[in-house]
Every structure is written in structure tokens, then in C-alpha cells.
């Protein structure tokens, strides 16, 4: 059986005007053992001033590692999204984020498929994405870092589309970060989708969509921050049961829009995991598995 443990994507801090350290403190205070920080290239004014949670990859990656360890946290992944069909942006950025992940102790990075250039054909986009993923995979394979492709954009909007994207490059580094909320918004059944591909899912964005947002946005957008887990459309018992039956460990990384939702989601999902009987994931299990 796979082990399921709760993590927190630090994007909740965006609506709280919270810094990286503030977000890390709140994650630890709530009780999470895993966090998913965002990293960026260069310097960004709001982050430097403490109003945004992302960290610059110009900083020493050991700062990020020590920030987690000092709070008894593990890094489940780095949020390293870059447009795959824009290799002039994505290739060097992803290579850097992979090297950064290896040094800070993250077993994987998150990527997605959009936005795409305005002037290219679909065939050209597949060629561009293949180039980007292959260049990133060369770097990831040598370091034992997974590249988890998130269900987010036009080329990951359906099971068939995601499968085609994954087959562009033959690499063990390519895995899946299934985002339950995004998958639902793209008019899929995320529970069934997860059940069909769980063998290749290394990370899950635990995102719920409220009934009001589901009625308003489903089929119109492919991504948004979620509501409190348990207050929306996702059947979390089914999700946890699927992950617990897998032969590998996965972190459910809560992605929501507020500190209150992050807190309530932790308590709700903790109870679901305990009720379903999923074994607790030891803090070092993911890092060992990826080494």
C-alpha cells in the first residue's frame, strides 16, 4: 500500500500578502509536514519586500532546505511552472529549478503546458514542448528528480491529451501531478482519471471546487485556487483510497486561497486519511524514494 501524507502548496499566502517565511511558519503551525514552495528566476520586488511567498533561485538553495528543516518540514516539490511550448523561457528555467531541487532536497518539480505562443500551430507546439521536456529530462534523470506535469492547460485538459504529452519524451523522469480541481474544471472526472493513471502519479494537488464555482466556471477555465477541501465537489475518500492502494507514496498538497481554508483542509483531510486507513508517510520517505 502507498502512504498518504498532507502537504501545503504555499500559494495560499498570495491572498494574505504573506512572505515565504510567513507561509512556512503557518504551514508548520497548522500541522503540515510537507510544503510545496514556489521558485522564480532573477529578483522579484514583492518577494524581496516580504509580500509574496516565492523564493529566487539566485539565492543559495540550502537556505530553502534549512528553512524547511528548522520547522520540521519536508519539501514535497517545487512549484516551477514554465510554458513548455516557449523553450526560450522554459528550458533554462526548468534546468535551473531541477538543479535547485536537487540541492534543496525536493524530489520533484511541477510544470504545466501553457500558455502557448499566439502564432504557432498545434503540431509546432508539440515539437516545442518535446524539445523543452527532453532538455529538462536530461538534467532531471542524472539527479533523480521527477518532472511532474500538472493537469492545467490545453495539452493536459483530458486523459488522452495528457497521455500524448507524456509520450513525447521517453524518460522515467516524466510523471504526473494530478490537480483534482483543475481536472474537474476541464470537464473530467478526476476520481476516475486518478484511478487510471495512479501508477504514474507522484504528486496530487488537493484542490476542491465549491458548488458555486463549479456551476460558474466548469468548462470555461482550466485552473483556479480551490475552496476548503470537503466543502466542494471532490470525493476525498475516493481520492485517498486510490492513493493508499498504489504501490508508492504520494503527498496530497493542498492548494487553496486562504489561511483559513488551509487550516480547515488540514483537519478535514487528516480525518479522511485516518478513516480510510492510509498509512502515515514518514517525513523522509519521499526523499529516499527519489534518491
Domain span holding position 184: 4-290
What is the rounded average pLDDT of the residues 69-94? 98
Q: Decide if 116 contacts 83 (C-beta within 8 A).
A: yes
Q: How far is 54 from 13, CA to CA, in rounded Å?
A: 10
User: Could you tell me which residue, 290 or 185, shows the higher pLDDT?
Assistant: 185
What pLDDT score was predicted for residue 161?
97
Question: How many structural domains does the chain have?
Answer: 1
Mean pLDDT of 133-140: 98
* pLDDT number for residue 179: 98
Residue 197: is its pLDDT beyond 90?
Answer: yes
DSSP letter assigned to residue 244: H
Q: Is the pLDDT of residue 23 over 90?
A: yes
- What is the pLDDT confidence band of residue 284, given thresholds at 50, 70 and 90? very low
145 CB-side CA count, 13 A: 30
> Who wins on pLDDT, 89 or 287?
89
For residue 230, pLDDT over 70 is answered with: yes
* Cβ count within 10 A of residue 290: 17
Span of 126-135, 242-251, 271-280 with lowest mean pLDDT: 271-280
Q: Give the CATH number for residue 254.
A: 3.20.20.150
Residue 167 has pLDDT above 90, yes or no: yes
What value does the mean pLDDT take over residues 151-169?
Answer: 97
Q: What is the mean pLDDT of the chain?
A: 94
Amino acid at each position: 500500500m502507498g502512504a498518504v501524507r498532507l502537504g501545503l502548496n504555499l500559494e495560499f499566502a498570495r491572498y494574505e500578502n504573506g512572505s515565504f517565511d510567513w507561509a512556512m511558519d503557518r504551514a508548520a503551525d497548522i500541522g503540515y509536514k510537507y510544503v510545496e514552495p514556489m521558485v522564480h528566476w532573477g529578483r522579484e520586488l514583492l518577494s524581496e519586500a516580504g509580500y509574496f511567498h516565492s523564493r529566487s533561485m539566485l539565492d543559495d538553495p540550502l537556505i530553502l532546505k534549512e528553512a524547511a528543516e528548522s520547522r520540521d518540514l519536508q519539501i514535497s516539490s517545487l512549484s516551477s511552472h514554465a510554458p513548455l511550448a516557449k523553450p526560450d523561457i522554459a528550458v533554462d528555467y526548468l534546468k535551473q529549478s531541477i538543479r535547485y531541487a536537487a540541492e534543496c532536497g525536493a524530489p520533484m518539480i511541477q510544470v504545466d503546458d501553457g500558455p502557448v505562443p499566439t502564432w504557432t500551430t498545434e503540431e509546432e507546439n508539440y515539437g516545442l514542448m518535446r524539445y523543452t521536456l527532453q532538455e529538462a529530462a536530461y538534467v532531471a534523470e542524472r539527479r533523480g528528480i521527477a518532472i511532474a506535469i500538472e493537469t492545467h492547460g490545453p495539452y493536459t485538459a483530458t486523459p488522452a491529451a495528457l497521455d500524448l504529452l507524456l509520450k513525447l519524451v521517453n524518460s522515467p523522469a516524466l510523471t504526473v501531478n494530478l490537480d483534482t480541481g483543475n481536472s474537474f474544471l476541464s470537464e473530467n472526472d478526476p476520481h476516475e482519471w486518478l484511478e487510471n493513471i495512479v501508477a504514474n502519479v507522484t504528486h496530487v494537488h488537493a484542490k476542491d471546487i465549491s458548488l458555486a464555482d463549479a456551476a460558474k466556471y466548469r468548462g470555461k477555465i482550466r485552473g483556479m485556487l480551490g475552496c476548503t477541501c470537503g466543502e466542494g465537489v471532490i470525493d476525498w475518500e475516493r481520492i485517498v483510497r486510490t492513493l493508499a492502494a498504489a504501490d508508492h507514496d504520494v503527498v496530497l498538497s493542498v492548494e487553496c486561497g486562504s489561511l483559513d481554508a488551509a487550516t480547515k483542509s488540514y483537519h478535514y483531510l487528516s480525518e479522511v486519511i485516518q478513516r480510510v486507513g492510509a498509512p502515515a508517510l514518514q517525513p523522509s520517505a519521499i526523499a529516499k524514494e527519489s534518491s
